[in-house]
Amino acid sequence: MSDPTSSWAAADAQRSSGEAAPTPRSEKVYLEGPGGIRVPARKVMLSGRSEPLYLYDTSGPCTEDVRRGLPALRDGWIQARGDVEWIEPGYRGPELERIPGPMRRRRVLRGTRTITQRWYARQGIITPEMEFVALRESVDPEMVRDEVARGRAIIPANPNHPESEPMIIGRKFLVKVNANIGNSVVSSSIHEEVEKLQWAVRWGADTVMDLSTGADIHATREWILRNSPVPVGTVPIYEALEKAGGKPEELTFEQFMETLLQQAQQGVDYMTIHAGLRLQHIPLTTGRVTGIVSRGGSILAKWCLAHHKENFLYTHFREICEELCRYDVAVSLGDGLRPGCLADANDEAQFAELETLGQLARIAAEYDVQVMIEGPGHVPLDMIRENVEREIAACGDAPFYTLGPVVTDIAPGYDHITSAIGAALIGWQGAAMLCYVTPKEHLGLPNKEDVKEGMIAYKIAAHAADVAKGHPGARAWDDAMSAARFEFRWDDQFHLALDPERARQYHDETLPGPAGRLAHFCSMCGPHFCSMKITQEVRRFAESRGLDPREALADGLKQKAAQFRAEGGHLYRPVDSASGQDSG
């Protein structure tokens, strides 16, 4: 693998060439909150009398130098609480050399007691993180506190990741999207992974999970954390398995805890832990078409069988919580037995594990550890609702974090679409965060373009869910686009689009140049057939008769309509029998 620090010149050149520049007619602005809180938003300027639109923004501050990382936004808030201490980090391996000096931390933070957002919330304390997300979501800070206290929402916020801009995951808030990045043994470098991170947040990722399993796993994570404006999740069992030489049966709980602590000290904000996969569940999978498809689940299943013992993550779950609460690492209870195909959806194995996840969620609550519950996977449309209902029932309303689900298995290469369908539906029905799926799912590791395609499909799914849930303000975006469409403000349509560049490019393919952007029609129908144009003419027609285009047109026609009704309004009776046959 090439030296990661040497390959940034190319990245810098690319950035300055505008690829990472803000979208046109957009600027990053900050909404000012109490105590100097500044919440990022994307302001989209619109033409004419239209008010600008403010959109949720995940892209983070502009990185001047990825070797230095982002500013430590939350440092002051964390220190001010006075309940953390500096300790020596546990990791001392060779990968430290692959972490540039300005990014390397000699000491890390640990709580002197429980320091989770959930704990503060239960004490009645509204933290700056809660203020931040309240402003970010346009909701009341007290509501945020209450949801976090009840365990219905989480704010992943490890003090060792002060660079992150707080965000909240819960059913009453905007549906969030996670982007998976990370290398594997057969592919990619640190450079590429940091680029994928930046690319993912540019397209709206609310969190990223670093699923690296290949070389430089510790260093890659450090680069990602120091440059991530969003919470970072991991699956520590992956790194633990590397320590066990890739052999599941040689894993030990000590290896796992060492890994967990090193990652917590780096700043990982949430961790997937497959503690709910119990020995007794494994036989339930033997009749499945695709068995166990979760990587973590299959690793632990193999361990359980090799030792004929209960999953050590289950038996040691309290010890795990005792550490997580000192770093405010949220636990994402992994669904190791999630179905890997439609045939296995909603089966006994899946739901048996879900019940266990509910038990574990209650234990985590005792430690004020923030919890979310992972969900499938592969589920036919008609079986999605049951997943949400059971999760709520079993897990006491802990946020549901689902992977898709894909709703059909027949379209490898298009699983961003098969799964965006399921994701939109499960988001509407209550899932709080959706883990994106890229077009490469089931086939290979995503490249940068795949990350974008996956993100766009999932921003669509999440926003469709927000609109359907009636999240306050969600539809303003759609309405601004619709108004621009009706008024032929092409440039505004492009600027408002999830992907402004593609919208403009597609339009220009058939109606190029500045004239095309002023056209009061598009190439779909041409000028004669443009329904929007004709509708506008209809309104002008009314106006030319001295009528207000909206109300008076209605009034004028209402008289006509009243006449109809007075005549019985029967089908097939000529409107105006005096004129004989209809001239048209």
Name which of residues 371 to 430 contact a copy of itself (CB under 8 A).
380-383, 407-414, 416-418, 420-421, 424-425, 428
Residues contacting residue 411 through CB under 8 Å, at least 6 positions apart: 417, 418
Q: Cα–Cα distance between 55 and 23 in angstroms, integer? A: 12
Q: Cα–Cα distance between 41 and 230 in angstroms, integer? A: 14
By CB under 8 A, what part of segment 169-198 binds a copy of itself?
Answer: 184-187
Query: Can you tell me which residue has the tokens 């996840």?
Result: 357
Q: Confirm or reject binding of residue 439 to a copy of itself (CB under 8 A).
A: yes
| Nearest distance, CB of residue 525 and a copy of itself, angstroms | 6
> How far, rounded to the nearest angstrom, does the alpha carbon of residue 307 sit from its chain's CA centroid?
37
Q: Confirm or reject binding of residue 50 to a copy of itself (CB under 8 A).
A: no
- Which segments within 376-420 are labelled E, that is strand? 400-403
Alpha helix (H) residue ranges in 404-521:
415-429, 448-469, 474-486, 490-496, 500-510, 513-518
Binder among 24, 393, 506, 520 for a copy of itself (CB under 8 A)? 506
- Of 7-15, 34-42, 79-87, 550-558, which part binds a copy of itself (CB under 8 A)? 550-558
Which is closer to a copy of itself, CB of 14 or CB of 315? 315
Instruction: Kindly state the DSSP code that residue 36 receives in the 8-state scheme.
Output: G
| Nearest distance, CB of residue 561 and a copy of itself, angstroms | 3
- 8 Å CB contact between 272 and 233: yes
Q: Confirm or reject binding of residue 529 to a copy of itself (CB under 8 A).
A: yes
Inter-helix orientation angle 474-486/531-544, to 10°: 70
- Of 67-75, 194-202, 264-272, 528-536, which part binds a copy of itself (CB under 8 A)? 528-536
| Nearest distance, CB of residue 162 and a copy of itself, angstroms | 31
Residues contacting residue 176 through CB under 8 Å, at least 6 positions apart: 167, 169, 206, 207, 432, 433, 434, 462
- Of 111-119, 221-229, 291-299, 323-331, which part binds a copy of itself (CB under 8 A)? 291-299
Strand partners, 232: 208
Which is closer to a copy of itself, CB of 113 or CB of 528? 528
Which is closer to a copy of itself, CB of 140 or CB of 382? 382
Which is closer to a copy of itself, CB of 84 or CB of 421? 421
Interface size with a copy of itself, residues (CB under 8 A): 162
> How far, rounded to the nearest angstrom, does the alpha carbon of residue 349 sit from its chain's CA centroid?
27
| Nearest distance, CB of residue 151 and a copy of itself, angstroms | 18
| Nearest distance, CB of residue 366 and a copy of itself, angstroms | 11
By CB under 8 A, what part of segment 311-370 binds a copy of itself?
Answer: 312, 314-318, 340-344, 356, 359-360, 363
- Tokens found for residue 407: 């709703």
Which is closer to a copy of itself, CB of 5 or CB of 359? 359
- Of 8-16, 70-78, 150-158, 554-562, which part binds a copy of itself (CB under 8 A)? 554-562
Site string for a copy of itself, 203-222 (x = CB under 8 A): ----------xx--------
| Nearest distance, CB of residue 441 and a copy of itself, angstroms | 8
Q: Which 3 state secondary structure label does DSSP give 47?
A: coil
Smallest CA-to-CA distance from 118 within 354, 364, 449, 401 is with: 364
- Of 6-14, 39-47, 63-71, 488-496, which part binds a copy of itself (CB under 8 A)? 488-496
| Nearest distance, CB of residue 154 and a copy of itself, angstroms | 22
Which is closer to a copy of itself, CB of 86 or CB of 541? 541
The dihedral region occupied by 25, where left means phi > 0, alpha psi between -120 and 50, and beta the remainder, is left
Q: Confirm or reject binding of residue 47 to a copy of itself (CB under 8 A).
A: no
Q: Are strands 176-181 and 371-375 parallel, antiparallel or unpaired?
A: unpaired
At CA 408, angle to CA 404 and CA 411, rounded to 5? 100
Length of the chain measured in residues: 584
